[in-house]
Amino acid sequence: MKLDRRPSRSPVFFLIGSLCALLAGASESAARGRTPLSPGLWRAWLESPGGELPFGVELQEDKGGWRAFILNPPERLAVARVTLEKEKGQLLFDMAPYDSTVRATLGADGQSLDGTWRKRRDAKTWVEMPFHARRSAGGEARRFQADPAAAGVPAATLAERWAVTFSSDKDPAVAILATQAPDRVTGTFLTATGDYRYLAGNLDGGRLRLSCFDGAHAFLFDARLEPARGAAGAAAAPTLRGDFWSSDRWHETWVAQPDPRAALADTFAQNRWNDGVALADVKFPDLKGQMRSLADPAFGGKARILQVFGSWCPNCNDEAAYLVELDRRYRGRGLSILGLAFEATGELQRDTEQVRRFAAHHHVEYPVLVAGLSDKEQASKTFPLLDRVRAYPTTIFLHADGRLRAIHTGFAGPATGEEHRQLRRQFEAIIEELLAETPSARR
């Protein structure tokens, strides 16, 4: 904590200064016909095809300007850059790692914001959804509006772990739910390609609603708990049956049943390595535009990690934060990490600049190459070392001589709790094993 060592001034001086500032602010606000933006907690939502997709926003003002945090409890996600255009009464959130922005206009009462969330989908199209926010009176507002149909109905009891089937996915999924209060729930869904990050919401009677907005993805889950209906005398479990909406167009259904042993298929066994392709045959430009082969001696080490990722991908951002930690911890012992970015547009100049923003945001010090377009079919052709690119991220562990040690598909991020901790232990055990190899064992 810094100590203020400026000369002390009289209370009268501060009173006069405060009055002058107040009058100046009032004059400026009156000139533009609205009251100033209020710091504090705001209830925000996007207009989704499935209804309101809510999340929290916290605004702070200090000498450096405005700061904002997106709230998906327990996560408090800092917005990369916040700009208040006072004359226009417009607030801009720039979420740099995702090429994503929220631009909203402040209402005349200073208690409302209305605008648009916009995120690049590919070279020519954008996700666009109406954005709204209202200043919360007192503490943090309820995430979802109460369901009138559930008035007076006690909240149901939710199991902590569920086996889930999504209508569009043949692979099993897992839901992890935690009841924080009788009507407040947090959790996430794990799938073979990653997790749905921090979901938060409410349980009204038997209706469960969860949402997440992190600047990249906008998720909305709406489900009903159906009571067990087994035959007379037979054991049965309740069922969650619902809908899932992602951003402005994706919709599918899902069903879940309590299962304390629900698990994903082995995420270390989803991809195959192509021994017929040499590292030297795979080349991509670096962030300076220079063509580099994966066999470049600068990328060598006692243990090697190739990260197949996209700056647009929230799970990749979660993994990048972890890889930065691993780089700092193990680089001195011989670990080499190389990022391979598959981006949204396929336009090298634009994608390179976006990867630079991603790297700066996460303080990435290991090298990154711009590998091509994020489309999985196209990426599989561009990166023939794998049988196919199934998920972003995909993490490849190599021996010092370039031989394969392991391939991991997807990433269980910090929202998954114990699954995340277990994955960290697995990654670090592989790294330690590779670093401990003797030169003779590496051949």
CB-count burial class (<10 Å; 0-12, 13-18, 19+) for 51: middle
Provide mean pLDDT across the span 123-128: 88
Provide mean pLDDT across the span 148-153: 84
Q: Indicate the pLDDT class of residue 399, thresholds 50, 70 and 90.
A: very high
Quote the tokens at residue 289.
């535009």
Hey, is 406 helix, strand or coil? strand
Determine the pLDDT at residue 5.
Answer: 33
> What's the rounded Cα separation, in Å, for the pair 187 and 209?
11
Which among 123, 44, 148 has a CA at the least distance from the CA of 343? 123
Q: Percentage of the chain surpassing pLDDT 90?
A: 75
Report whether pLDDT(23) > 50: no
Phi, psi (degrees; rounded to nearest 5) at 127:
-80, 130
Determine the pLDDT at residue 120.
Answer: 87
> CA end-to-end span of the chain, whole Å?
54
To 10 degrees, what angle do helices 348-362 and 314-330 make?
Answer: 60
Determine the pLDDT at residue 440.
Answer: 58
Provide mean pLDDT across the span 205-210: 94
Determine the pLDDT at residue 31.
Answer: 43
Half-sphere exposure of residue 133: CA atoms within 13 angstroms, side-chain side: 33
366 or 109, which is more confident: 366
Q: In 350-378, which positions are buried (b, 16+ CB within 10 angstroms) versus exposed (e)? A: ebbebbbbbbebbebebbbbbbbbbeeee
Determine the pLDDT at residue 16.
Answer: 41
> What's the rounded Cα separation, in Å, for the pair 248 and 250?
7
Determine the pLDDT at residue 34.
Answer: 58
Mean pLDDT (the chain, rounded):
89
Determine the pLDDT at residue 443.
Answer: 53
Report whether pLDDT(154) > 90: no
122 or 277, which is more confident: 277
Element (H, E) at 44: strand 40-48
Q: Indicate the pLDDT class of residue 33, thresholds 50, 70 and 90.
A: low
Determine the pLDDT at residue 232.
Answer: 54
What is the tens place of the pLDDT at every residue in 297-332?
999 999 999 999 999 998 999 999 999 999 999 999
What is the tens place of the pLDDT at every residue in 237-246?
789 999 999 9
Which has the minimum average pLDDT: 17-26, 38-47, 381-390? Answer: 17-26
CA angle 213, 219, 223 (to 5 degrees): 135
Decide if 244 contacts 219 (C-beta within 8 A): yes
What is the tens place of the pLDDT at every residue in 41-87?
999 999 999 999 999 999 999 888 999 999 999 999 999 999 999 88
Report whether pLDDT(6) > 70: no
Amino acid occupying residue 97: P
Beta bridge partners of 203: 208
CB-count burial class (<10 Å; 0-12, 13-18, 19+) for 22: exposed
Q: Percentage of the chain surpassing pLDDT 70?
A: 89
Provide mean pLDDT across the span 366-387: 96
What is the tens place of the pLDDT at every residue in 221-231?
999 998 876 55
Which segments within 227-345 are labelled E, that is strand? 239-246, 250-258, 283-285, 291-293, 303-309, 335-343
Quote the tokens at residue 114.
């209305």
Provide mean pLDDT across the span 123-135: 92
Maximum distance among all Cα pairs of the chain, rounded to whole angstroms = 82
Provide mean pLDDT across the span 123-137: 92
Quote the tokens at residue 295.
């066999």
Determine the pLDDT at residue 64.
Answer: 83
- Sign, Cα dihedral of 103, 184, 159, 52: negative
